[in-house]
Chains A and B, each alone.
Chain A
Amino acid sequence: MAVNRRSAIKQLLYVSAGMALLPACLQNTRRTSLEIKNIKVDGEQGKMLAELVETIIPATSTPGAKELSAHLFTLLMLDDCYNKEDQQKWLKGMEDFEAASKKMNGKSFLESNATQRAALLTSMEAAKDDKDDVAFFYRTTKRLTIQAYTSSKYFLTNVNVYELVPARYHGCVPLKPFTHKLS
């Protein structure tokens, strides 16, 4: 099926307004407005990305990366904060990622079940640098997913609480004993 990529992304991301709307949008579960200017991702790829970030950080008793819109943050950062060369490398890497999925599991990432997805990511984890396009794609997406998650309102108000107004500095206090946080 020939899909006009621009209209596909509109369907997926409901492009209607500029990025000014984004900060609030990223933080809730409303339909999100996102205008991307430099990279082209079609609807299937957009859905795949959402499942990929969810596989990287899944929902448990706490939200997963998809719920915190890490896939949209990833697209936004790729679009605004990476140079053209890296953007193309990432896009090419995404195609290679799908190819790797087909090769390993005989189907696309979206069509794969959880076990198959995990197997693919396990193979991706083996890469220690960004040399291959597919490694660049996976490692960049993972890094941005982690950034989206750990700088989200959810994380900074529930897990590592960010204080806008600490009103104190103590130079030397006992280190609190480590307590495991349920993730």
Chain B
Amino acid sequence: MSTNNTSLQNRTFDAIVIGSGISGGWAAKEFTEKGLKTLVLERGRDVKHLKDYPTTSQFPWEFPHRGQVPEAIKSANPVISRCYAYKEDAMHFFVKDTDHPYGQPKPFDWIRGYQVGGKSLMWARQTQRWSDFDFEGPARDGFATDWPIRYKDIAPWYSYVEKFVGISGNKDGLAHLPDGEFLPPMELSCVENYFKDFVKDNYKDRQVIYARCAHLTQPQQVHLDQGRGQCQKRDLCQRGCPFGGYFSSNSSTLPWAEKTGNLTLRPFSVVHSIIFDEKLGKASGVRVIDTNTKEMMEYYAKVIFVNAAAVNTNALLLNSTSHRFPNGFGNDSGVLGKYFAFHNYRGHIGGQYEGFKDSTTDGRRPTSAYLPRFRNVQKQETDFLRGYAAGFSSGRGSHTNTDGFGTTLKDQLFNSETGGWYVGSHMMGETIPKEKSTVTLDAQKKDEWGIPIINIDVDYDDNDEKMLKDFFEQMTEMYTKAGFTNISTGDSKQAPGLDIHEMGGVRMGNDPKTSMLNKWNQMHACNNVFVTDGACMTSTSTQNPSLTYMALTARAVDYAVQQLKKGEI
């Protein structure tokens, strides 16, 4: 690739993909496999699998502060410092507050990963399918707008991406959390199995299952072909995995796309805007700012996929104005940047279990058990809309007596005792996308590239507070009945955003008057632009959303290429 070649031919591709994270990586793989010359634009630096994981094989004692983030960095970067994964071993994969400021009319913890692979490097790897109970939610309960797709539309694409990604899971036979193409699950602990049986015996509508996750528990040929191997249960995934044991763009889709010979990956490329060709009535390409040279240049393609991650995708479209689209690209409806939402992760509960004293776990496990949503699934039954899923995990800690000093203390340190079983859950609540929840561009302030800075204006509402209360009540009841003791609940009161599940603003829908994208993630108002990252989400449901982005992306590329072949695009 010649980054300095400015000839028109070298800047013209079949497809442009903006962003190299979990959905952009899939767009790249699908386009290049189908023979399209594809340019992937990434605003950050390159991160090559294996080579650019500097901390991956470090022992705990090799970190100067044993994992802790120094005070000077924390105080200068309060937002990113609140992220659970922002520790000394993976700090280099996160954006500092000071590097890329944004506006927060209400507190919003925006967690970003500006590099090739995006946040797919550090994601939590949970991959639960949606069902029709999720897709039908807005229509049934009268919020947002109806999804233009149903489970049957996406089911084959879930299967398609699951086989390639490698998903570890159990066939649980649940209508509201459909089974997928699973590699074997990892084990549940004795206490998790006990709670699973307890819930099954005592609640008709509730289940405890093994959480499906993107880990290769038994690699298949397609995974070996990617150069990936079996998950080694290191549970250090945020550093990048030397075994390719979990899925990321870096370990999987991007090298796969590269092998086709059809991929051009251009890091350090901030996309300023999408170019609308008034004569052709469609997008002709994108304006890119090279972050090293500050030079602006244009790249052209027949089809453009926007996968910049939810907030930035909104901002890019808002910044792409033209005579045809004075209010942002494809924004005839005026809904662009509105109906933004997230997941409510505020609630957590912990406790202890006195049983299984003679048993413990051995090794490490990078996932947990999971309680699928049980509130308002079949019908509305509470004073709040929708519901929540919950994680469930357990283990035995160790207890070290640190009283005293000298040989007494030393002996205690050498002989820590195995503690009792602890149990814990966290809440993953659906939030309702609202018109007043917005991503907008600042009228005055601009970033270092001359692009307006982004304002994110979203907050919890009454529904979220009621749901949180219900989570505490229901989980406390289940924990109590199951015989867990020392139960304590907590509201982290964390700002929206820290869930790292921001969604919406460029929503899908049947009606061009109230939505931006059709059922193929294709813009109603411009048929060669597609959005398949979190921005496309009409509602949020409770599941970790990345699997759905991947499936929607593969499906949309398939459609786009068919349309290109037919000459429709």
Query: How long is the Cα–Cα vector from A175 to B190 in the complex, in angstroms?
Result: 12
Partner of A166, one of B364, B405, B406: B364
Question: A110: CB under 8 A from chain B?
Answer: no
Q: Using a CB-CB cutoff of 8 Å, which residues 404-455 of chain B contact chain A?
A: 404-407, 409-411, 413-418
Q: Tell me if B71 and A82 are in contact (CB < 8 A).
A: yes
Q: Using a CB-CB cutoff of 8 Å, which residues 150-183 of chain A contact chain B?
A: 150-153, 156, 159-160, 162-175, 178, 180-183
Query: How long is the Cα–Cα vector from A20 to B450 in the complex, in angstroms?
Result: 36
Q: Using a CB-CB cutoff of 8 Å, which residues 361-384 of chain B contact chain A?
A: 361-365
Q: Tell me if B405 and A121 are in contact (CB < 8 A).
A: yes
Question: B499: CB under 8 A from chain A?
Answer: no
Interface size on A, residues (CB 8 A): 51
Residues of A within 8 A of B232 (CB): 165-167
Q: Tell me if B361 and A173 are in contact (CB < 8 A).
A: yes
Question: B68: CB under 8 A from chain A?
Answer: yes
Residue in B closest to A84 when the chains form the complex, CB atoms: B71
Residues of A within 8 A of B84 (CB): none
Q: Using a CB-CB cutoff of 8 Å, which residues 104-138 of chain A contact chain B?
A: 118, 121, 125
Known: A121-B405, A166-B232. A60 touches B410 (CB 8 A): yes
Interface size on B, residues (CB 8 A): 53
Partner of A156, one of B60, B236, B362, B396: B60
Query: How long is the Cα–Cα vector from A84 to B417 in the complex, in angstroms?
Result: 36
Partner of A173, one of B360, B409, B410: B360
- Report B187-231 CB contacts with A as 1/0, cut-off 8 Å: 111101100000000000000000000000000000000000000
Known: A58-B407, A121-B405, A165-B234. A23 touches B413 (CB 8 A): no
Residue in B closest to A27 when the chains form the complex, CB atoms: B61
Q: Tell me if A58 and B410 are in contact (CB < 8 A).
A: yes
Question: A12: CB under 8 A from chain B?
Answer: no
Residues of A within 8 A of B193 (CB): 171-172
Query: How long is the Cα–Cα vector from A57 to B403 in the complex, in angstroms?
Result: 12
Query: How long is the Cα–Cα vector from A58 to B190 in the complex, in angstroms?
Result: 40
- Report A40-77 CB contacts with B as 1/0, cut-off 8 Å: 00000000000000011110101000000000000011
Query: How long is the Cα–Cα vector from A160 to B66 in the complex, in angstroms?
Result: 16
Query: How long is the Cα–Cα vector from A81 to B417 in the complex, in angstroms?
Result: 29
Partner of B361, one of A62, A80, A169: A169
Known: A149-B413, A169-B187. A162 touches B407 (CB 8 A): no
Question: A83: CB under 8 A from chain B?
Answer: yes
Question: B357: CB under 8 A from chain A?
Answer: yes
Residues of A within 8 A of B462 (CB): none
Query: How long is the Cα–Cα vector from A121 to B416 in the complex, in angstroms?
Result: 22
Contact sample, A vs B, 7 pairs, CB 8 Å cutoff: A23-B62, A62-B414, A166-B233, A167-B232, A167-B233, A170-B187, A172-B190
Q: Tell me if B409 and A56 are in contact (CB < 8 A).
A: yes
Partner of B363, one of A62, A118, A168: A168
B411 vs chain A, min Cβ distance (A): 5
Known: A125-B405, A151-B60, A156-B61. A183 touches B186 (CB 8 A): no
Q: Using a CB-CB cutoff of 8 Å, which residues 311-369 of chain B contact chain A?
A: 356-365
Interface of B is mostly: loop
Residue in A closest to B67 when the chains form the complex, CB atoms: A151
Question: A17: CB under 8 A from chain B?
Answer: no
Q: Tell me if B363 and A166 are in contact (CB < 8 A).
A: yes
Known: A147-B66, A167-B233, A169-B233. A174 touches B59 (CB 8 A): no
Question: A146: CB under 8 A from chain B?
Answer: yes
A161 vs chain B, min Cβ distance (A): 11
Residue in B closest to A148 when the chains form the complex, CB atoms: B66
Q: Using a CB-CB cutoff of 8 Å, which residues 12-55 of chain A contact chain B?
A: 19, 22-23, 26-27, 55
Known: A153-B59, A167-B233. A175 touches B415 (CB 8 A): no
Question: A142: CB under 8 A from chain B?
Answer: yes
Question: B175: CB under 8 A from chain A?
Answer: no
Residues of B within 8 A of A142 (CB): 402, 405
Query: How long is the Cα–Cα vector from A169 to B356 in the complex, in angstroms?
Result: 17
Residues of A within 8 A of B363 (CB): 163, 166-170
Partner of B415, one of A77, A163, A183: A183
Known: A23-B63, A81-B65, A156-B61. A169 touches B406 (CB 8 A): no
Q: Tell me if A166 and B234 are in contact (CB < 8 A).
A: yes
Partner of B414, one of A152, A156, A159: A159
Residues of B within 8 A of A80 (CB): 64-65, 70-72
Q: Using a CB-CB cutoff of 8 Å, which residues 465-500 of chain B contact chain A?
A: none
Partner of A169, one of B71, B359, B364: B364
Question: B7: CB under 8 A from chain A?
Answer: no
Query: How long is the Cα–Cα vector from A149 to B413 in the complex, in angstroms?
Result: 9
Q: Tell me if B404 and A19 are in contact (CB < 8 A).
A: no
Known: A171-B193, A174-B359. A153 touches B64 (CB 8 A): no
Q: Tell me if B61 and A152 are in contact (CB < 8 A).
A: yes
Q: Tell me if A81 and B68 are in contact (CB < 8 A).
A: yes
Residue in B closest to A167 when the chains form the complex, CB atoms: B232
Could you list 6 further interchain pairs (A-B, Cβ under 8 angstroms) beyond the known A125-B405, A151-B61, A183-B415? A57-B405, A60-B407, A76-B64, A80-B70, A166-B234, A169-B233
B43 vs chain A, min Cβ distance (A): 28
Residue in A closest to B235 when the chains form the complex, CB atoms: A166
Query: How long is the Cα–Cα vector from A82 to B64 in the complex, in angstroms?
Result: 14
**Which of B75, B400, B413, B417 has the largest count of A CB atoms less than 10 A from its CB?**
B413
Q: Tell me if B61 and A153 are in contact (CB < 8 A).
A: yes
Question: B562: CB under 8 A from chain A?
Answer: no
Residue in A closest to B68 when the chains form the complex, CB atoms: A81
Query: How long is the Cα–Cα vector from A146 to B75 in the complex, in angstroms?
Result: 26
Query: How long is the Cα–Cα vector from A170 to B402 in the complex, in angstroms?
Result: 30
B516 vs chain A, min Cβ distance (A): 43
Q: Tell me if B233 and A168 are in contact (CB < 8 A).
A: yes
Question: B57: CB under 8 A from chain A?
Answer: yes
**Which of A162, A172, A175, A183 has the largest count of B CB atoms less than 10 A from its CB?**
A172
